[in-house]
Amino acid sequence: MVKSLLLLGGLASLPALSFAQAGADASGPYLGLGTSLLTSQPFTDRGGSTLWGPALTGGVSLAPRLALELGLAYAGRNTHREYNYYDYNTGRPIKQSIDGKEKVYTFPLLLRATLTPLASRLHADVLGGATYLRATYTEQETYSTGLSRAVPESPATNRAIASLGPGLRFACTPHIEVAANALVNYAFFEGASSFNNHLFLNTRLGVHYTFTAR
């Protein structure tokens, strides 16, 4: 009876043991897919803006507690504005519609430092590094008279950004983990009228596949 209980206990401990043993070896290269949300609302009392879209992540371990991570994310939104005015030449009211499209691409290059024990399935991280941001905006004007006009594209915005924030990862299997992080970003060399315009938050949620079992 005692031998049976010991055998059952040993079998039950195998999954945890496999995580503990693999955790000490440091995970290898990984790829991730998820979503990214950009928002300036936490840093301004004037509304701010929020964009979200898909994100890709890739990384490689440099040391048992240190990894280098590269990401690519796209976020965009469509805007619509309408204006009504009177044409004194024709004596008729005219309705003007303006449809805009904003596209934002971010390329973060980060170092990820793990704070928790490697054998744990739940990891707390600190991420820091640089992000390159490129944003474009285009407009199309349409009038009730039937006239349509594409507005010349605004000059693209390019920003050099310092990124820092916490992250969490949970290992669902030896190869798959759910990851979430929140990066506070400060944009350099931006002709902003206030300090708030330099700051925004980038939160990411996704699934990572690690090629070397944890």
What CATH code is carried by the domain that includes residue 151? 2.40.160.20
Measured CA to CA, the distance from residue 151 to residue 140 in angstroms comes to 6
CB 74 within 8 A of CB 68: no
More confident residue, 62 or 100: 62
pLDDT value of residue 152:
64
Show Cβ contacts of residue 89 under 8 Å, excluding neighbours closer than 6 positions.
none
Q: Which two tokens stand for residue 150?
A: 């594409």
pLDDT at 69 over 50: yes
pLDDT tens track for 87-139: 777 777 888 888 888 889 999 999 999 999 988 999 999 999 999 988 888 88
Q: How many CB atoms lie within 10 A of CB 106?
A: 26
pLDDT of residue 12: 39
**Average pLDDT over every residue of 188-192:** 54
Cα 156–Cα 160–Cα 165 angle in degrees, nearest 5: 125
pTM above 0.75, yes or no: no
Among the listed ranges 48-52, 82-86, 140-144, 191-195, which one has the minimum average pLDDT value?
A: 191-195
Q: What pLDDT score does 18 carry?
A: 41
Average pLDDT estimate for 154-159: 77
Name beta bridge partners: 56.
Answer: 33, 72
What are the residue ranges of helices labelled H in the chain?
2-12, 14-23
82 alpha-carbon distance from chain centroid: 32
Per-residue tokens: 80: 């619509």
Find all residues with CB under 8 Å of 128, minimum gap 6, and list them.
Answer: 110, 111, 113, 163, 164, 165
Distance CA 38, CA 126 (A): 19
Asked whether residue 78 carries a pLDDT value surpassing 60, the answer given is yes
Name the pLDDT band for 66 (thresholds 50, 70, 90).
Answer: very high
Q: Does the pLDDT at position 149 exceed 70?
A: no
Does the pLDDT of residue 73 top 50, yes or no? yes
Range of the domain at 190: 2-210
- Where residue 70 falls among pLDDT bands split at 50, 70, 90? very high
Q: Cβ contacts of residue 104 below 8 Å, gap of 6+?
A: 38, 51, 74, 75, 76, 133, 134, 135
pLDDT, greater one: 11 or 168: 168
The pLDDT score that the predictor gives to residue 153 is: 65
Domain count, the chain: 1
Higher-pLDDT residue of 69 and 23 is 69
The predicted pLDDT at position 9 comes to 41
Helix (H, G, I), strand (E, B) or coil at 15: helix
pLDDT at 26 over 60: no
